Amino acid sequence: MMTRTAIETAPAPRAPSADDATRVAVSTVIFSLRREPGAERPTVVLPLVTRTRDPFEGMWALPGGWLDASESLDAAASRTLQETTGLAPSYLEQLYAFGEVDRSPTRVVSIVYWALIRPDEVDAVAAPENTAWFEAESCTELAFDHTQIVQYALWRLRNKAGYSRIAHGLLADEFTLAELREVYESILRRRLDPANFRRQAEASGTLIPTDRFRTGSHRPARLYRYDRDLELADRGPLTTSH
Amino acid sequence: MMTRTAIETAPAPRAPSADDATRVAVSTVIFSLRREPGAERPTVVLPLVTRTRDPFEGMWALPGGWLDASESLDAAASRTLQETTGLAPSYLEQLYAFGEVDRSPTRVVSIVYWALIRPDEVDAVAAPENTAWFEAESCTELAFDHTQIVQYALWRLRNKAGYSRIAHGLLADEFTLAELREVYESILRRRLDPANFRRQAEASGTLIPTDRFRTGSHRPARLYRYDRDLELADRGPLTTSH
DNA sequence: CCAAAAGTGTTATTAATACACCCATGA
DNA sequence: TCATGGGTGTATTAATAACACTTTTGG
């Protein structure tokens, strides 16, 4: 294909010595929704774990663990999520690799993922000890740089909700348009016009109407299904052809 | 802040044993533009390095190196770029962390960055030995998973060109609107309407008109400067408040 | 004067938004 | 029947795109 350009000396990549104590951790920001008593719509919540050992002992931190030598990053994130919530994620995507030198007393590079799980799953499953759910918005003073990480993940969630179909990760297989809209309203923290939302949703081509209805206190609402064949873009570079 | 939810047993994070030979590397996809003899517009090019040792010896690979214990990921990427091109990047952003188990004979997690440098800098600087520039489009059969990585970076470049102002990373301080348009045309591989492009560019509010002109064979074109105070979003989670 | 790129104006099409209104059901 | 959310229609606005046209320079 190409033309050679210039000649000089190439620095040989330095092999890591034994005292290169850089370790790789994987953490996951697990988002879900929870209906708060007074609030007009659900809020974004996530599980945190209390640290039981030295760096930042007693503080809340993202669930995670060391990367096992025999597992991929994705697998490590899934495992983390499984251990923390007992669930498989309905959505899982790499967020960012954090590697500031002073982010931990020892040198740790953290590959952070973010995931979505459905609210009904949260209610149904017993979480391990030392785990509690917090409002993402008001997560502050976490261990390490996890406060920043959570806020960045939250920003990405909101950003992505604008152009992607991730909201389905927070819903069951069948849902009404009002339920879908409520998810977006919860993420974006603002009201959306039901009429316009309906049209946009229908125009997206990703919704399959069923012939079932959600019967409630008023006019029954049609149930839709998400067309998972038309999968969301950017679940990572290796999944689809870009 | 929040309410506790459930109780069970928390798995203690496993400390990495001595045989956890997972090493962290940092690689960088360095994009620039080059005007090809026949082509109607410049093409996206990037520098590759020939591997001089065992895994994939003799094949072309992304420039990179091991993460030093005392440098941040960003710093490692900058250093890589400096060693390969002798330049500081006009744009540098983390792309993705690659960590499949079998992507290398030994276990290596690669934090990959992508960067932009200006074409005139490419011409001016002598690249080290074993380094050559290739068309990004036709980069195939690289070492490791670098082929996929390059294509993903290219996808991200094109994607980001649609909503961001990165194109300025490929231009000098002062430029005409035609030059700016050509950068976008090169990245997106399609013609853009000069009239509409002008209006969009002016409406963006990121261009500062100077009173200087590029005098050429025809009517002089006004030179603009990029307003770097209004910086691009998403240069990473730690830079700005999201 | 002419070629060619700089720069302006005008219109058509499409997408986003606001909001009035009808429909169907449980109570 | 009435309150309420489900669902439709429509008008206004903004963004995008297509393209005709005028301006200014070097040769």
pLDDT value of residue B18:
43
What whole-number distance in Å separates Cα of residue A204 and Cα of residue B59? 44
What contacts B217, CB < 8 A, 6 or more positions away? none
Q: At what angle do helices B194-204 and B177-188 cross, to 10 degrees?
A: 110
pLDDT value of residue B84:
87
Residue B13 has pLDDT above 90, yes or no: no
Which chain B positions have a beta carbon within 8 Å of A155's beta carbon?
237, 242
DSSP helix/strand/coil, B158? helix
Given the DSSP bridges, would you call strands B23-34 and B108-116 parallel, antiparallel or unpaired?
parallel
pLDDT value of residue B37:
85
Residue B217 has pLDDT above 50, yes or no: yes
pLDDT value of residue A58:
96
The mean per-residue pLDDT over the stretch A132-138 comes to 95
Q: Report whether A26 contacts A73 (CB < 8 A).
A: yes
Average pLDDT for chain B: 88
Residue nearest to nucleotide C27 (CA to C1'): A217
DSSP helix/strand/coil, A168? helix
What whole-number distance in Å separates Cα of residue A183 and Cα of residue A175? 11
What whole-number distance in Å separates Cα of residue B216 and Cα of residue B219? 7
* Cα end-to-end span (Å), chain B: 22
A209 close contact with B: CB closer than 8 A: no
Which chain A positions have a beta carbon within 8 Å of B240's beta carbon?
none
Q: Report whether A201 contacts A160 (CB < 8 A).
A: no
Which residues of the protein are close to the nucleic strand D, CB under 7 angstroms?
A 176-178, 194-196, 198, 213, 218-222; B 193, 195-196, 200, 215-220
- Please give the angle made by the CA atoms of B113, B240 and A133, to the nearest 5 degrees: 95
The mean per-residue pLDDT over the stretch B223-227 comes to 95
What whole-number distance in Å separates Cα of residue A223 and Cα of residue A208? 9
Q: Report whether A94 contacts A111 (CB < 8 A).
A: yes
Condensed to tens digits (0 to 9), the pLDDT of residues B104-161 reads 999 999 999 999 999 988 877 766 788 999 999 999 999 999 999 999 999 999 999 9
Q: In B, residues 50-109, which contact A (CB 8 Å cutoff)?
A: 52, 64-74, 83, 94, 96-101, 107, 109
Which chain A positions have a beta carbon within 8 Å of B69's beta carbon?
19-22, 107
Nearest to B153 by CA among B29, B27, B33, B25: B29
Residue A103 has pLDDT above 70, yes or no: yes
pLDDT-above-90 percentage for chain A: 71
Place of tokens 């993705």: B96
How many residues make up chain B in this entry? 242
pLDDT value of residue B12:
43
Condensed to tens digits (0 to 9), the pLDDT of residues A174-220 reads 999 999 999 999 999 999 999 999 999 999 989 999 999 999 888 99
pLDDT top residue among A237 and A242:
A237
Residue nearest to nucleotide C25 (CA to C1'): A219
pLDDT value of residue B224:
97
Condensed to tens digits (0 to 9), the pLDDT of residues A67-95 reads 999 999 999 999 999 998 888 899 999 99
**Distance, CA of A214 to C1' of C26, in Å:** 13
Query: Which of the four pLDDT bands, split at 50, 70 and 90, describes residue B231?
Result: low
pLDDT value of residue B129:
82
Give the domains, in start order, of chain A with CATH numbers.
23-163 (3.90.79.10), 166-226 (1.10.10.10)
The DSSP secondary structure of B118-148, one letter per residue, reads: -HHHHHHSPPPTTEEEEESTT--S-STTHHH
Condensed to tens digits (0 to 9), the pLDDT of residues B40-65 reads 899 999 999 999 999 999 999 999 99
CB contact under 8 A, B96 and A155: no
Q: Which nucleotides of D are covered by protein (CB under 7 A)?
A: 3-10, 16-20, 23-27
DSSP structure class, residue B103: S
Place of tokens 């002992």: A57
Q: At what angle do helices A177-188 and A146-163 cross, to 10 degrees?
A: 140
Query: Which of the four pLDDT bands, split at 50, 70 and 90, describes residue B196?
Result: very high
What whole-number distance in Å separates Cα of residue B152 and Cα of residue B164? 17
pLDDT-above-70 percentage for chain B: 86
Given the DSSP bridges, would you call strands A43-50 and A131-135 parallel, antiparallel or unpaired?
antiparallel
The DSSP secondary structure of A54-108, one letter per residue, reads: STTTTSEE--EEEPPTTS-HHHHHHHHHHHHHSS--SEEEEEEEE--TTSSSS-E
A164 close contact with B: CB closer than 8 A: no
Condensed to tens digits (0 to 9), the pLDDT of residues A2-49 reads 444 333 333 444 444 445 589 999 999 999 999 988 888 999 999 999
Condensed to tens digits (0 to 9), the pLDDT of residues B76-118 reads 999 989 998 888 899 999 999 999 999 999 999 999 999 999 9
What whole-number distance in Å separates Cα of residue A93 and Cα of residue A72? 13
What contacts A155, CB < 8 A, 6 or more positions away? B237, B242
CB contact under 8 A, A15 and B94: no
Which chain B positions have a beta carbon within 8 Å of A94's beta carbon?
96-97
Residue nearest to nucleotide D9 (CA to C1'): A195
CB contact under 8 A, B72 and A100: yes
